[in-house]
Structure 1
């Protein structure tokens, strides 16, 4: 699930705790953790609803001024169902702490290198795990 920055900050503050998505099948399940720029969001309930059952209060909990603005963000199509999804901020993204941990043992480093070699070995395009960071470094902000 993608959210605009403004909506993510409102979820983090507790102001927004619902999302509505119109899909053929739900894209998330209860208990799913979504890593975002504000932290990990936890999906609570996922339920199919009729657009007629969505009131202004629900729309406001999803970050809309009212229910009239809700359809503009939804995918069109008669074959799609509207889903009401509850959300909450579950905590910080654990990757942030991992990035800060630069004190790696030799065994840690060996495990990382072995994992990268396995990725390269399974790649249909050949080794890429050393070429990609060099490419990114050579093209900042791209």
Structure 2
């Protein structure tokens, strides 16, 4: 979920607890925690409101001086629904970071991880991709995703989505530019090398 940089400090401190979004289709779900540029943000509630129903109190909770300012800042097409999200900053560490930092992979966990990667490969409409993706990230850390995708002959947007799946398994870490293999990913790759 994208959150404007000028809202980061307010969400982190708790002074901003509401976001307004004009979306063609709902892009968040109440009860979920989203990873954002400012950290993890929970969406506690979400509902559709007419732009003219935005209250002064909700506008202030969203960091605006008035309801009119909140409405004026809405992006998207005027006919699209306006969503009011009740949000809060989640201070606990991202479980993916903790998972990625663990280089200890017992045999049963290695087997489970190999099975999950095989399922990702089977589910792909373009064929197996996990091994080649881990390999190129291992060989070329901190290289732009578009360059890595180009080297593999892959669509950059799909490549990024696939790398996110690997990150969710704790195998990669996102950098300012590109990615690197995590401690967990290095342990997995080392085990695969031993098996060959």
Q: Do they superpose with TM above 0.5?
A: yes
The offset of 1:110, in angstroms, is 1.7
**What's the counterpart of residue 164 of structure 2?**
none
**What's the counterpart of residue 13 of structure 1?**
13
1:29 paired with 2:29, answer: yes
Q: How many residues matched?
A: 141
The offset of 1:6, in angstroms, is 4.0
C-alpha distance in 1 between matches for 2:102 and 2:6: 30
**What's the counterpart of residue 103 of structure 1?**
104
Q: Which moved more, 1:101-110 or 1:1-10?
A: 1-10
* Structure 2 gaps, min length 5: 145-196
**Normalised by the size of structure 1, how large is the TM-score?**
0.79
**Normalised by the size of structure 2, how large is the TM-score?**
0.60
The offset of 1:52, in angstroms, is 2.6
The offset of 1:53, in angstroms, is 2.9
**What's the counterpart of residue 48 of structure 2?**
48
The 3-state SS of whatever aligns with 1:130 is helix
Could you say which structure has the greater relative contact order, defined with CA pairs below 8 angstroms and 6 or more residues apart?
1
**1:26–1:46 contact (8 Å) kept in structure 2:** no
Structure 1 runs, 4 residues or longer, greater than 6 Å off: none
**Cα offsets for 1:97-116 (capped at 9, x unmatched):** 11222211111112111221
C-alpha distance in 2 between matches for 1:127 and 1:26: 31
Give the structure with the higher percent strand: 1
**Cα offsets for 1:57-98 (capped at 9, x unmatched):** 4223213344343233421232x2222111112442221211
Alignment of 1:1-142 (within 5 A): 1-70=1-70, 71-78=72-79, 80-92=80-92, 93-136=94-137, 137-138=139-140, 140-142=142-144
